[in-house]
Amino acid sequence: MVSRSETRFIKINFITIIVTLLVILAGGIVRSTGSGMGCPDWPKCFDRYIPPTDVSQLPANYKEKYVAGRLKKNEKFAKYLESMGKVALADSIRHDKSITVPEEFNPAKTWTEYLNRLAGVLAGLFLVLTAIYSFAYKKTAKRIIVLSILNIFVVGYQAWLGSIVVSTNLAQWVVTVHMLLALVILAISIYTYNYAKQLHKTPSVIMYRILWLKGFLFGTLLLSLVQIVIGTEVREGVDVVAKSLGYGAKSTWISQLGSIFSYHRDIAIIVVIANAIVYKMVIDRFSGKAAPLLTVRFILGTLLIQLISGFALAYIAFPPVAQAVHILFSTLLFSLQFYLYLLVYRTSTYKQ
């Protein structure tokens, strides 16, 4: 029987997952509107807890001040990379001239980035609450406690990396790592949520072989992860092309990306086929109101929206709304696939 404290944990954990997805959506909006440098410092915004609304509220030398601050932080980051043996990477940060280019104040971009940070704070708060309520499992499932606390440390590292994203002026590889860490946070939250929900339930047993589905689903999950990484690289390439064209001629951006976009498009086709096979395998093995059936239907719906937004980006001149939707639903697809894998993993085949 599930206790009240365990029920409370499950609810808080679920809210945490939703809020984390909203943070990723907010990040997608920031990226699509070019608001990443709307706040040139971190964790404050223009050295304020409540950002300014007009340039008159800023000191006359604000550009030089924040560039100097970024250079100082980047030097510390470069030394950190050198301590890890990444000497070439450290040198590339030290000699990156784009970091010395000051950002013009834009109130719309500033507040877009500021709201993104507030969403991040909210997610952090719910992760702390999740860790606190996880102690309901101190006698039954200590792994839930360990993973919930671990997630707080991952979020702390993610927040620090967020400051590096700002100080390096949105260095491409840092943005990619930032995105991958968001997936790690989501995966841990989904795992603890599923584990808590299934803790007092008897594992499912079906009449059909499940091993092939487990293996194929795991491969599909890895494929989606690779696709997200390549998609992030595509977005980084778009940034380079857009900057070189002065952010004009949007209809030509995709055509100038080269092979990386072709890889992303081709893998998207494989992802669709793989998920269609997963869908067929699930409906062949489960019936009624089984959770895997509901989850795989959500996966198909998510995949459809993901494809539509991808077509819009490729053939309708990169609309900002499609960018945010594409990032959100790629993350949602990964989340649902991971949840489905956890459900299927606990399922076994009936043996006489």
Mean pLDDT over residues 76-103, rounded?
76
Range of the domain at 210: 202-352
Do 196 and 248 fall within a single domain?
A: no
234-244: average pLDDT? 77
How many angstroms separate the first and last alpha carbons of the chain?
29
Mean per-residue pLDDT, 281-307: 89
Q: What's the token pair of residue 294?
A: 């509901």
Domain boundary residue, one of 150, 178, 201: 201
**Quick one: three-class SS letters along the chain?**
CCCHHHHHHHHHHHHHHHHHHHHHHHHHHHHHCCCCCCCCCCCCECCECCCCCCHHHCCCCHHHHHHHHHHHHHHHHHHHHHHCCCHHHHHHHHCCHHHHCCCCCCHHHHHHHHHHHHHHHHHHHHHHHHHHHHHHHCCCCHHHHHHHHHHHHHHHHHHHHHHHHHHCCCCHHHHHHHHHHHHHHHHHHHHHHHHHHHCCCCCCEECCCCHHHHHHHHHHHHHHHHHHHHHHHHHHHHHHHHHHCCCCCHHHCHHHCCHHHHHHHHHHHHHHHHHHHHHHHHHHHCCCCCHHHHHHHHHHHHHHHHHHHHHHHHHCCCCHHHHHHHHHHHHHHHHHHHHHHHHHHCCEECCC
Q: Looking at residues 299-315, what average pLDDT do you find?
A: 90
Cβ contacts of 112 within 8 Å, gap of 6 or more: 29, 30, 33, 35, 38
Going by C-alpha positions, the residue among 343, 337, 339, 346 that lies closest to residue 225 is 337
Looking at the fold, whether 71 and 139 belong to one and the same domain comes out as: yes
Q: How large is the average pLDDT for residues 126-144?
A: 94
**Is residue 146 domain-shared with residue 265, that is, in the same domain?**
no
Decide which of 157, 173, 201 is a domain's last residue: 201
User: What pLDDT does 218 receive?
Assistant: 93
Query: Which of 168, 201, 234 delimits the end of a domain?
Result: 201
**pLDDT-wise least confident of 150-164, 167-181, 213-227, 296-310:** 167-181
- 190 and 327 part of one domain: no
Query: Highest mean pLDDT range out of 71-80, 82-91, 259-268, 281-290?
Result: 259-268
Nearby residues of 79 by Cβ (< 8 Å), 6 or more positions away? 90
Maximum mean pLDDT: which of 44-48, 219-223, 316-320, 344-348 = 219-223
**pLDDT band at residue 302 using 50, 70 and 90 as cut-offs:** very high
Residue 5 above 70 pLDDT? yes
pLDDT band at 8; cut points 50, 70, 90: very high
Per-residue confidence (pLDDT) for residue 173, from 0 to 100: 67
Residue 255, token pair as written in the block: 């055509």
In this structure, the answer to whether residues 174 and 323 fall within a common structural domain is no
Domain co-membership, 3 together with 109: yes
- The total of structural domains in the chain comes to 2
Q: Judge if 299 and 150 occupy the same domain.
A: no
Comparing 82-86, 225-229, 258-262, 293-297, the range with the smallest average pLDDT is 82-86
Shared domain for 67 and 7, answered yes or no, is yes
Average pLDDT, the chain: 85
pLDDT at 16 over 80: yes
Average pLDDT over residues 293-300: 94
pLDDT band at residue 63 using 50, 70 and 90 as cut-offs? confident
- Domain match, 134 and 229 both: no
Given a cut of 60, whether residue 125 has pLDDT beyond it is yes
For residue 239, pLDDT beyond 70 = yes
The reported pTM is 0.86
Q: What is the pLDDT of residues 318-341, one digit of tens each?
A: 788 888 899 899 999 999 999 999
**33 plus 127 within the same structural domain:** yes
Tell whether 192 and 231 lie within a shared domain: no
Q: Could you tell me what percent of the chain has a pLDDT over 90?
A: 35
More confident residue, 172 or 67: 67
133 and 14 within one domain: yes
- pLDDT of 170 over the 60 cut: no
